[in-house]
Each structure stands twice: as structure tokens, then as C-alpha cells.
Amino acid sequence: MSDNPFVDFPAGTPLLSEGSAASALFIIESGKAVVERADAPGVVLAELGPGDFCGEMSILQEQPHTASVVAKTAVRALRIEVAAFHAVLRENAEVGVQLMRRLVLRLKASEARRVQLEAMTGNGKAAPASRPAAAPAAPPPPVQGTSVQPAAMPFSIEHAEGSIPLPGGKPELLVGRPDPATGAVPEINLGPLDSARTLSRRHARLLVKGGGSFALREEPGVGNGTWVNGSKLQPEQEVPVKPGDTLRFGAIEVRLKGP
């Protein structure tokens, strides 16, 4: 077996595959690679170039890779095995500091890209496709005394800067902030309000009970707490909430508003 730590990847071949176990960290010496996910075909989550690395999140979390990294051009990369990676972190604090700096820059870039995409698509919702010319005409205006049912529920999360309509058709709505590693955005995205960084990516779930009835449950592992009308939720506790109630997620305080 060759002792050469560098690996060459032809264009189109994966450096890392989504779902596979973490086995090594790759530092790109030359070429470009893209980050992709199977549930978002054709969408490039990030582009990596010389000096960038991949695979570190799965190693640190001891979890399978949440995305694939595929060579966009011919790529030459330095491969660092898991055991060697942990040894380097233990023996050289500066490497750990540089790694954290890179991760922070990557998170900032992912957040900026998410904001840009939301601005382009209307808060993360793609614009509806235009109807073909032969499509049926639009329905007539409603008769007086009736109304057209909106796509969203007639409820919203009110905060100091505006409101977030609650989407309909789901029994549970995740409250949190976007995950830059996977590109996932919660149904109730409070990330833009989280200047103090007290919000977890998966902070809580608003359970839709029907008939204007809701309940709130904190997600496992949340460190900064969840409150309903000033009372802190206990782990796995499900608390009824109704329009007018004040909810707090970490340092973010909002109000559930009804029709």
C-alpha cells in the first residue's frame, strides 16, 4: 500500500458519500468539489476549493455523512484518517483553533446563502408555476359572505419585527433555525431573530391539535430552555398553547396569534 497521503479524484467521483460512515477528513489541495444531498437533486449546497476541507462534521459528531462531496473538476486532496485527526487535535491546539475558524466562516457563508435564496424565492417558498394557456380560467370571485381558504392556517407567530404565518397541512411544526450542514429550514424559522445565538436548530415542536388548539414540546438536548407564559417546559413535557400566549425559545420571545 502506498504511503502517499494524497488522493486524486477524477471529475464526477465522490470524495464522501451521503450516509456512509465517517472514516477520514479531506483537505483539498487543488480542484473544486460540490456538496450535494439526495433529497435535493441538482442543488449545490456549497462549493469547495483549495484549502477547504470536508468530513470533519461527521468525525466530530461520530455520525454518517449527511451529504455527498463530489469532485466538480479533477481534485487532489490530503486524506487524514480518523485516528490521526483526533491525535492532531490532542497534540496541536492551533490546528483546533484553525478548524473552528473555518467552521465559523462556513456557517456564515451558509447563512448568507440561505438569506439570499429566501429573498429570491419569497421567504423560502418557490413561486408557483404559471398556468399553461389551455388551463381552465381562474375561479369566479367568492359570493358575498364567503371567503377563499388560504394555503396557510389563520395563525401566526408574532415578533417585534413582524410575523411568521403557520403553514397548513402539517400535524407538527418544527421551531428552530436553519441547519447549514444539511440546508434544512424549520417550518417556524426564528434564525433571523437569533442574534444572541440562544436558539437550537431543532428547538421545539408546535403540535397542531385542530380547531385552533395547539401544544408545545421542547426537542431533546435543548440547552437554553423553552417557556410558555413564563413557565419553563420540562424535557418531553407537552404544554397546551392558545392564541395570545407568550412563547420564549432561548432569548427569543414571540406570541401566538389567532384569526
Give dist(CA 93, CA 80) in Å, integer. 17
CATH 2.60.120.10 occupies which residues in the chain? 6-121
The model's pLDDT over 159-214, given as tens digits with 9 standing for 90+, comes to 887 889 998 888 999 999 887 666 778 899 998 888 888 888 889 999 998 777 89
Alpha helices in 49-92 (DSSP H): 56-61, 82-91
The model's pLDDT over 1-31, given as tens digits with 9 standing for 90+, comes to 456 789 999 999 999 999 998 888 888 899 9
Q: What is the pLDDT of residue 218?
A: 92
Q: What is the pLDDT of residue 92?
A: 65
Instruction: Please give the CATH architecture assigned to the domain spanning 152-257.
Output: Sandwich (2.60)
Q: What is the pLDDT of residue 37?
A: 87
Instruction: Evaluate if residue 239 carries a pLDDT over 90.
Output: yes
The model's pLDDT over 96-128, given as tens digits with 9 standing for 90+, comes to 666 666 666 666 666 666 666 666 555 444 444
- 46 contacts 109 by C-beta, under 8 angstroms: yes
Q: What is the pLDDT of residue 128?
A: 44
Give dist(CA 65, CA 84) in Å, integer. 19
User: In which band, very low, low, confident or very high, does the pLDDT at 69 lie, cut at 50, 70 and 90?
Assistant: very high
Q: What is the pLDDT of residue 177?
A: 87
Helix, strand, coil share (%) of the chain residues, nearest 5: 20, 35, 45
CATH 2.60.200.20 occupies which residues in the chain? 152-257
Instruction: Please give the CATH architecture assigned to the domain spanning 6-121.
Output: Sandwich (2.60)
Q: Cα 55–46–49 angle (5° rounding)?
A: 70
State the average pLDDT over residues 27-52.
87
The model's pLDDT over 127-150, given as tens digits with 9 standing for 90+, comes to 444 444 444 444 444 444 433 333
Q: What is the pLDDT of residue 158?
A: 92
State the average pLDDT over residues 213-233.
91
Give dist(CA 176, CA 223) in Å, integer. 13
State the average pLDDT over residues 221-228.
89
